[in-house]
Amino acid sequence: MLVYLPGGVALALARIPAGSFQMGRAANERSSYEWEDPQHAVTIGYDFYLARTETTQAQWQAVMGTNPAHTYGTGANYPVYFVSWDDCQAFVAALNGLGLGGTFRLPSEAEWEYACRSGAQTRFFFGDSLGVEDEDQDGLAEGLPGNRSDYMWWWFNCQGNANGAYGAKPVGSKLPNSFGLYDMSGNVWEFCQDYWHPDYTGAPADGSPWLAPPSIYRVVRGGAWSFYAYYGRSAGRAASAPDAHYGIGIRLAWTDN
């Protein structure tokens, strides 16, 4: 599905079908954390749409008239970053005010992980390993059998060495997952609607955002160019203050009214 923003800037969205999955880290999952527990069943009983890429700087500027990104990769097709969760709420409100139809929003954390996995229960949507000798370091990734760095941007291939320039990269430069979504692992972190909780005890099981009890922080997902690869696992999650302007971006969800 294509939506056109002011100035003719295109926004592509993929339909995500209803379904069920196991959310959270698997038992004995390598390089994982206790705040990804307990793994639990989630059923999303509705179709929804998710942007095929992270929101680009061109898309943000078309709606907001500004581009907050700088220093770590700039250009129309680069992801927007240095936006806060509060900024993203203002962006969504402005976008919905354009009268384009339906409702734009941030995805829930459950919707995000379901879409990222795209039917896979492995560590990453493309398998259990990047095929590198050590995901925690730049290591010897190049030339190793089974190297999967064609699926994600992370610390190894974004540090200004022989592997590429320092910073975020143009969206859609790596291979997509089975739902046709790009950069679900790596490039920039992506905000979700949910409040951060230290684990999944009491989490909704229907795909809705977890909004109670409220906390100070919001959920971010997907890892980023400046982080080690394991942060980009499908179960990987982190937190951000809602007014913090770190290297975090946004991926839009959309539902038909």
Give the model confidence (pLDDT) of 20-50 as tens digits: 999 999 998 888 889 999 999 999 999 999 9
pLDDT confidence of residue 144:
43
What is the rounded end-to-end Cα distance, in angstroms, of the chain? 15
Residue 98 is which amino acid? L
The total of other beta-carbon atoms located within 10 Å of residue 211's CB is 11
pLDDT confidence of residue 257:
79
CATH superfamily to which 2-255 belongs: paralog of FGE (formylglycine-generating enzyme) (3.90.1580.10)
pLDDT band at residue 160, thresholds of 50, 70 and 90?
A: low
Nearest to 16, CA basis, from 42, 55, 49? 49
Give the model confidence (pLDDT) of 79-90 as tens digits: 999 999 999 999
DSSP 198: S
Computed over every residue of the chain, the mean pLDDT equals 91
Give the model confidence (pLDDT) of 109-150 as tens digits: 999 999 999 999 999 998 887 765 445 544 344 444 455 678
Give the model confidence (pLDDT) of 189-209 as tens digits: 999 999 999 999 999 999 999
Cα dihedral across residues 116, 119, 125, 126: positive or negative: negative
